[in-house]
Amino acid sequence: MPAIDLPTLGGRFVRDPYPFYARMRERFGDVCRVLLGDGGNVWFVLGHDAARSALTDPRLIKDWTRVAAMEGLRDERRPTDHNMLSADPPRHTRLRRLVSREFTPRRITMPETRLEEITRDLLDTMTAAPERRADLVEALAVPLPMTVICELLGVPFLEREDFRTWSAILLGSSTPEEERDAAVAMNDYLAELVERKRAAGGDDLLAALIRARDEEGDRLSESELIGMAFLLLVAGHETTVNLIANAVLALLTHPEQLAALRRDPDLIDTAIEETLRWDPPVERATFRFTTEPVRFGEVVVPTGEGLLVVLASAGRDPAHAPDADRFDILRDPRPPHLSFGHGIHFCLGAPLARLEARVALRALLERCPDLDLDTEPKEIRHRVSLIVRGPERLPVRW
């Protein structure tokens, strides 16, 4: 099968990958081979049913240290890699069991009144701008979920900006040197944070994970605690940042849908689900690797190959959603999208992300009834990332 040279597609692909995914599905079917910017290659899983199957296929593993071609890199594994998203059963089962004991709805779902308070404060600051203009990403989409996850985990306020910077580097299109430096800095910070939490105690989620034990006395190791803190902090804010920004952008570029939502605010939940399907915050799930040849339709992916399940393509598969390229907040959300994953790696924080997006959108539309884009849609630049999708900036006026 010929490979698609992804870098040659350039900014057009980053800005709007959906026409490209449609052509890939038409030409290759459920999977195609892609060349990446670093010279490596990977398989894209494109169709909805194939993506759903791949997300639960035990022949596709997440722990890259089990891949024969990467055995020589095992010593490069950092404590931040020791998390559930990078693990397979039985290790994943053990980690999920330990974490789930503390990942209760009471603990991870911040009271809606507190979410409303944080949102109100952010919108007070934003709307106080005399020019009545702002970058919605920096004014609301970033600080809301960052504040929420840091409060849940007990991360000091003054340290949050550093973490945001490291996260953006690790999920963006950075040089290997920048990624290495950010990973080392984040690892060192989290190790020190875990030690502080161990000494001070508390009722936040990270302190609870430090204390967590199962019936047999098993507990998270030092590396596993650092890995879980990393996963919760990064996944706990990055997904929601892009969900909020993508939802606002979709509504502002589809005025008839925005008008329908203003007429009936109860459509807020279906608007969020339609955003998750139509322009998801995670464009591609993290790497999986084949442990044996795996067939997708007429194509067999060999052993030891890397795959990325393209959630953005799966949501626009016309076999899954009729008229799939149309953004329609009245669409029946069944069958459900895959944008929070599927199977054992389904996102534990999905309820919190939905709640944050609901509170943010409702408050924003109430406070700014004439909200509009402050630039041409074609001028909006999206983040360059192999995993996440969202605008770098979202200029708005009111």
Q: What is the DSSP string of 311-350?
A: HHHHHT-TTTSTTTTS--TTS---S---TT--GGG--TTH
What is the rounded distance in angstroms from the CA atom of residue 190 to the CA atom of residue 183?
Answer: 10
Q: Hey, where are the domains in the chain?
A: 3-397
* Average per-residue pLDDT for the chain: 90
What average pLDDT does this structure show over 339-358? 93
Q: What is residue 1's predicted lDDT score, i.e. its pLDDT? A: 72
Q: Is the pLDDT of residue 340 over 90?
A: yes
What is the rounded distance in angstroms from the CA atom of residue 82 to the CA atom of residue 149?
Answer: 20
Over residues 61-109, the pLDDT tens digits come to 999 888 877 765 655 667 778 889 999 999 999 998 888 877 776 766 6
Q: Is the pLDDT of residue 152 over 90?
A: no
Q: Is the pLDDT of residue 18 over 90?
A: yes
CB 133 within 8 Å of CB 396: yes
Q: What is residue 339's predicted lDDT score, i.e. its pLDDT? A: 96
Q: What is residue 391's predicted lDDT score, i.e. its pLDDT? A: 97
Q: Which residue has the tokens 């409702």?
A: 362
Over residues 349-383, the pLDDT tens digits come to 898 899 999 999 999 999 999 999 999 999 999 99
Question: pTM for the whole thing?
Answer: 0.93
The SS3 assignment for 204 reads coil
Has domain 3-397 been given CATH number 1.10.630.10? yes
Q: Which two tokens stand for residue 109?
A: 């779902």
CB 377 within 8 Å of CB 264: no
Over residues 290-331, the pLDDT tens digits come to 999 999 998 999 999 999 999 999 999 999 999 999 999 999
What is the rounded distance in angstroms from the CA atom of residue 223 to the CA atom of residue 6?
Answer: 35
Strand partners, 278: none
Q: What is residue 361's predicted lDDT score, i.e. its pLDDT? A: 98
CB 388 within 8 Å of CB 274: no
What is the rounded distance in angstroms from the CA atom of residue 222 to the CA atom of residue 171?
Answer: 24
Q: What is residue 397's predicted lDDT score, i.e. its pLDDT? A: 98
